[in-house]
Every structure is written in structure tokens, then in C-alpha cells.
Structure 1
Amino acid sequence: MPDDKTRIALIGFGAMARSLQASFYKSGNDFAVGAVLVPAEFAPAPNELGGLRLFHDVSELIDWRPSLVVECASHDAVRDFVPALLRNGIDTIIVSVGSLGDKMLLDNLELAANEGRSRLTAVSGAIGGLDVLRSARSAGLRSVAYTGTKSPKAWTGTPAADAVDLASLSQPTVIFKGNAEQAARLYPKNANVTAAVALAGIGFEATGVVLIADPHVTTNRHRVQAEGAFGSFSIELQNAPLPDNPKTSWLAALSIEEAIIRHFRFIDV
């Protein structure tokens, strides 16, 4: 694939995609988004695109030959578009990491990447410590647990809204307890970080997950605890939410930018 840092394409044009585009524009570096892929029914108005090429069909994007594609849309977008990109030799970064909880899709993506000799990268999102998990995994992990705490507003439009009255919560309330596979499936826009933890550690079914709605917090809080032959560790991050989307931590958007920069580096550190 060409190594053109200005021939980057996005799948989706929501708050995270716009944040990335604006960040590259302000930084004045060599990176720039050149095109977006959005189904016609969700297409932004021409005046919102700022000169970006707009594609509605993945085959059109493939013909444009991007040097890198970044998915920041949905689990459906990963399933519908990413295999074709990989199969055609186009390196792709995915944000909707929770989609990889579907083993059939994960196998399909790996096969497509092998066929196209391309690379699929799953961003770390709003969580840290994944390098420790990956290192500890080789010696054996006994348990990995993730706890995510966000304001009630961040859980609107999710199954939590059907289970509790989010607007009237006066104390921290557990809205989900299960494993990473269930969390990624039920809370795809809120809990992608659980999938990143599962992939780095002991898998989707064995990774314990607790999600909490807390009316007193103003940040998105993520805690990972792990035990194994290496010993144990606990890491907690408190992240400011993305200004235009409280469901997403600002650090998650920043992790995409870092993943793009690392993709084009000759030395990855």
C-alpha cells in the first residue's frame, strides 16, 4: 500500500471522526483525512465535509486506494466493510473493538487480512495497562476484571435505560454484571474498552465486567484488575468525556490519533 499520510479515510463521520479530523487540522503535521465512507442514509451535508471525498459504497473507497482506513462507526460497519478492505490489501484500524467478541467475525477478519497481506489494528481506546496484560498472559493469568463507571447520561439509549430510571439516580448503581462478551454485545457504544481488555488478557468469556451509573462522577472511570503467575496489578483511569459525545472518553479519540501515527512510523516505540 502507498505510504501517503494524507490519503487516510474514515468509516463514519460522527463525533469521534470529526474530533480526529479537527485534531489533525490543528496540529499542522503531515496527517490529514482525505475521504469518508458513510451509507447514503447517514451521509452528512456537503458543507460539513470540509472538502473530504464522500463514498457510500466500500468498492468506491477501495478504488480510491487509501493508505489507511480508520473505522469509527459501529459493529455493523466492521462486519459490512472491513473484511473487503483487508482482502484488498488496505490496512485498517478499528475503533469498534467490541465487534471482535463475535468469534465468527474475528476469524473472518483474520482470514481477510491474510488473503490481502494487510494489517488490522484494534485501538486501545480509553484504557491503559494492556501491554502489561499481554506480557503477563504468556506466564498465565488467573483472573481479569474490568469496572466501568460513567454518569447516568452516558448510559442513555442502552439496556440500562430500560432497567433503571437513570434520571433519578442518587447513588452509584450497577447496571450490568457479566463477562466481556455480553458487555460488548449489549453496550457496544459504551463498553468497547472491555473488548480491548479481553483481547489483551484471557478472552471475552473469562473476563469479568461490571458497569456502573454514578450521578456524582464527571469523568469516565475505568479500572482493570488482574492476577496471575506474574503477581497482580490494578490500574484506574479517570478520563474526560469527548465534548460532543459523553458515551466516549476523550482518551479513546486520542488513542486513534496515536494508532495512526504509530502506523506510519518506521520504528514503533
Structure 2
Amino acid sequence: MTQPTSTARRMALIGHGAIGSEITACLDRLGEAYSLSAVLVRPGRTAPAAVHDLDALIRTAPDVVLECAGHAAALEHCAPLLRAGIDVVLSSVGILADGQVMADMVEAEAAGGGRLLLAAGAVAGLDGLTAAALAGVEAVTYVSYKPPAAWRGTPAQQIIDLDHTEEEVVFFEGTARDAARDYPKNANVAISVALCALGADRTRVRLVSSRRVDDPLGVIEAHGPFGRFHFDILALAAASNPKTSALTAYSLLQCARLDAGLPILLLPGAKAGFATTRA
């Protein structure tokens, strides 16, 4: 087993579902299980280094916590962790479409010194978009293509016939904030894109039911004085949960291992109106 070094970062997890269990399995494969201080799960659930309340997790003194348990858990736990001076890598980025939530995170960071971090690895192009924002970005669009079955259980099934014979049907066009409000389980990438440049109200989103894809395909387009770019991200679904990208767990983990997250509240889009409008 790899031996810990003086610079090893201690990490904890919130949640041990599809994402969390992949992270702990990867740590085992890397020989870095020693870096895991705690995994917060509900009473009655098991996990490596399991704890069942946030105070117990904080007492293990992690340097960084990886949130991988969904919006409700993120809303409950992120601000207290930031106030305790602990960095948080946020998976459920869609919660930040709510202006009050963003304001709470700003206050919590200022009070405790913990950083709220965005793991860019699962969404290619976010680093380039953040750089382009310095030169000036005029327009950003995020398009999410998913097979019809992937949209079942969302408002899409009330808007279109998901047994459609057309190759593609666009059923939503609006802002990233609107997408987060109407499709909260599908909005994390849209809000991540919005944070990196123009904010929730100027970033455009289209959601598409497509028979051309078998797995989720995301497309980011932007243009401005810097030029233009177009990124395609074919995010193969995790074997244990078809609603989760297989790359998400590795993105969160690598962010924590390398201390390479994007500080969310310093991103251009976070200063472009996120905290001014309650979703």
C-alpha cells in the first residue's frame, strides 16, 4: 500500500451511493484509502469510515469534503462545513441557481474560510470558458442531448411524447436558471457552465430528447472577442446508476487529491447575478 506523506490531503465524503462508492473503490485501487477520514451516511447505512452526523465528520478533521449525495444533502451540509473552515467539492451545483442559497454560501465562506469548489473534470471546457471570460464572452449555450428514456420522470414527459418517432425533439429552451428550476436533476452541468462566464440568467440552455444518442451528450458553445469554441462531452453513464456520469466520481476525487478545484464564488458567473434573484 502507498504510504501517506506529510502533504497527503485528508478527505471525507457525504454519501456513499453510485458516486461515493466509486470514489472509495478508486482510493482502494490507488492504495490511498488512508486519506479517507469519514463517510457521512444515514443511520443504518454502512460505508468505509462511516459516520452518521455532520459533527462526527467534522471531528475527523478532513481538509476537504466531497459532496456526492444530491441537492438535499448539499443544502443541509455545505454551509456548516464552510463555516467550520473545511473545503467542499460540490457535486450538486444546481442548488446555486437559488439566489438565497448562493448568498448563504458567500456568508459561510466569509465566516469560516472554507472554499466551495467546482470539479471541472467531468465537463470538458470549463477551464477554457473561465479564461475566455477575462477577454469577454458574448454568448454561451449549453445543449443537453439524452435518449428519450432518460427524460422519463421529468417534466419532459408532460410536454412531449417520449415515444416520438422524430430523431430529435427540443422540449426546453431558456436560461440556466430556468433549467435548474424546471429540471433540477438535470441542471448541474448547466449551472456549472453558467458559473464560468455569464451567470445563470444570460447562459442559454436547450434540452433535447434524441434518438441519435445512447448516453448523455452535452455541447458547450461560446463566442466573443477571444474567438469561439465548441466542446462535445459524451458522458457515458455509470454502470451502477444510469442517471450519473461515470466520470463524475473521478472528477470529484481528482479535484480533492490535487487541490485543483475552481473556487466557485470567485468565478465570473458567480458575480454575474447569481445571488440577486431567488429561483
TM-score past 0.5 threshold: yes
Contact 2:38–2:60 (8 Å) recurs in 1 = no
Equivalent positions of 1:74-153 (< 5 A) are 74-124=70-120, 126-153=122-149
The structural deviation recorded for 1:180 is 0.6
Query: SS at the partner of 2:65?
Result: strand
Equivalent positions of 1:171-182 (< 5 A) are 171-182=167-178
Query: CA RMSD of the aligned region, Å?
Result: 2.2
Q: Which residue is 1:157 aligned to? A: 153
- TM (norm. structure 2) is 0.83
Query: Which one of 189, 192, 212 corresponds to residue 193 of structure 1?
Result: 189
Query: Which one of 17, 28, 33 corresponds to residue 31 of structure 2?
Result: 28
Contact 1:9–1:70 (8 Å) recurs in 2 = yes
Gaps of 5+ in 2: 1-5, 262-279
Query: Which one of 252, 255, 259 corresponds to residue 259 of structure 1?
Result: 255
Contact 1:169–1:215 (8 Å) recurs in 2 = no
Q: Which residue is 1:53 aligned to? A: 50
Q: Which residue is 1:73 aligned to? A: 69
* Residue 220 of structure 1 pairs with residue 207 of structure 2: no
In structure 2, C-alpha distance between the alignment counterparts of 1:34 and 1:157, rounded to whole Å: 36
In structure 1, C-alpha distance between the alignment counterparts of 2:183 and 2:168, rounded to whole Å: 18
In structure 2, C-alpha distance between the alignment counterparts of 1:264 and 1:137, rounded to whole Å: 19
Q: Which residue is 2:11 aligned to? A: 8
Higher relative contact order (CA 8 A, sep 6+): 2
Q: Which residue is 1:63 aligned to? A: 59
The structural deviation recorded for 1:125 is 5.5
Query: SS at the partner of 1:114?
Result: helix
* Residue 169 of structure 1 pairs with residue 172 of structure 2: no
Q: Which residue is 1:243 aligned to? A: 239
The structural deviation recorded for 1:76 is 2.1
In structure 1, C-alpha distance between the alignment counterparts of 2:11 and 2:34, rounded to whole Å: 8
- TM (norm. structure 1) is 0.86
Contact 2:155–2:183 (8 Å) recurs in 1 = yes
* Residue 229 of structure 1 pairs with residue 225 of structure 2: yes
Deviations along 1:37-87, one digit per CA (max 9) or x if unpaired, are 2344xx53x3xx2x42221x2223223322221111122222211111110
Contact 1:180–1:194 (8 Å) recurs in 2 = yes
Contact 2:126–2:196 (8 Å) recurs in 1 = yes
Contact 2:41–2:50 (8 Å) recurs in 1 = no
Contact 1:184–1:191 (8 Å) recurs in 2 = yes
Q: Which residue is 2:277 aligned to? A: none
Q: Judging changes above 3 Å, is the alpha-carbon distance between structure 1 residues 126 and 161 closer, same or farther for their aligned structure 2 residues?
A: farther
In the alignment, residue 73 of structure 2 is paired with which amino acid?
A
In the alignment, residue 225 of structure 2 is paired with which amino acid?
A
Gaps of 5+ in 1: none
In structure 2, C-alpha distance between the alignment counterparts of 1:264 and 1:208, rounded to whole Å: 27
In structure 2, C-alpha distance between the alignment counterparts of 1:155 and 1:29, rounded to whole Å: 37
Q: Judging changes above 3 Å, is the alpha-carbon distance between structure 1 residues 224 and 31 closer, same or farther for their aligned structure 2 residues?
A: farther
Deviations along 1:214-239, one digit per CA (max 9) or x if unpaired, are 23412221111111111211111222
Query: SS at the partner of 2:89?
Result: strand
Q: Which runs of 4+ in 1 moved over 4 A?
A: none
In the alignment, residue 51 of structure 2 is paired with which amino acid?
L
Q: Judging changes above 3 Å, is the alpha-carbon distance between structure 1 residues 143 and 260 closer, same or farther for their aligned structure 2 residues?
A: same
The structural deviation recorded for 1:132 is 1.6
Q: Judging changes above 3 Å, is the alpha-carbon distance between structure 1 residues 151 and 34 closer, same or farther for their aligned structure 2 residues?
A: farther
Percent identity, aligned pairs only, is 37
